[in-house]
């Protein structure tokens, strides 16, 4: 299983995101190049490091605009829809893809998550079905 590029970095990407948010004018100074070509990271989440400051949409919007000036394409990996950060950020982005886990997320839960994103003014562009198991043998699936 491939490890997340974030785990290969020596610097705390979560700390860098906190600093960039505090100084959105120079946000790109806190972005770290990854070992992967054309991929830079500004992490906003660490498993056991909750954000100590409250995020408002104006501050987050300033950060995103600052990064948009320096990078051609920005992908934001938001936390789950149970997080307020998800809804603060979702409405500020050009588009949102809702990631749901196959055979675990109930359709009602996915529909409710989509509606909550729409209520937060997110442009929901689609859904990614994650961890989809293969129930058919490869030879049979190839014939279908």
Query: 20: buried, middle or exposed (CB in 10 Å: 19+, 13-18, 0-12)?
Result: buried
Q: What is the arithmetic mean of pLDDT over 49-61? A: 63
The pLDDT of residue 113 is: 92
Q: 84-95, pLDDT tens digit by residue? A: 878 888 888 889
Q: pTM for the complete prediction?
A: 0.65
Q: Are strands 40-41 and 32-33 parallel, antiparallel or unpaired?
A: antiparallel
pLDDT at 136 over 70: yes
Q: What is the arithmetic mean of pLDDT over 22-26? A: 62
Nearest CA to 13 out of 35, 41, 37, 33 is that of 41
Domain ranges of the chain: 1-77, 81-144
């Amino acid at each position: 299983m491939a490890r997340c590029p974030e785990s290969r970095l020596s610097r705390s990407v979560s700390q860098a995101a906190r600093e960039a948010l505090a100084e959105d004018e120079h946000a790109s100074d806190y972005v770290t190049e990854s070992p992967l070509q054309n991929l830079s990271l500004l992490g906003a989440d660490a498993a056991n490091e909750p954000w100590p400051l409250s995020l408002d949409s104006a501050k987050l919007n300033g950060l995103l605009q600052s990064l948009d000036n320096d990078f051609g394409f920005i992908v934001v990996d938001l936390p789950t829809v149970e997080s307020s950060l998800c809804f603060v950020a979702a409405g500020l982005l050009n588009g949102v893809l809702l990631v749901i886990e196959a055979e675990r997320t109930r359709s009602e839960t996915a529909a409710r998550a989509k509606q909550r994103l729409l209520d937060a003014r997110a442009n929901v562009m689609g859904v990614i079905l994650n961890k989809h198991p293969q129930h058919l043998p490869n030879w049979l699936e190839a014939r279908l």
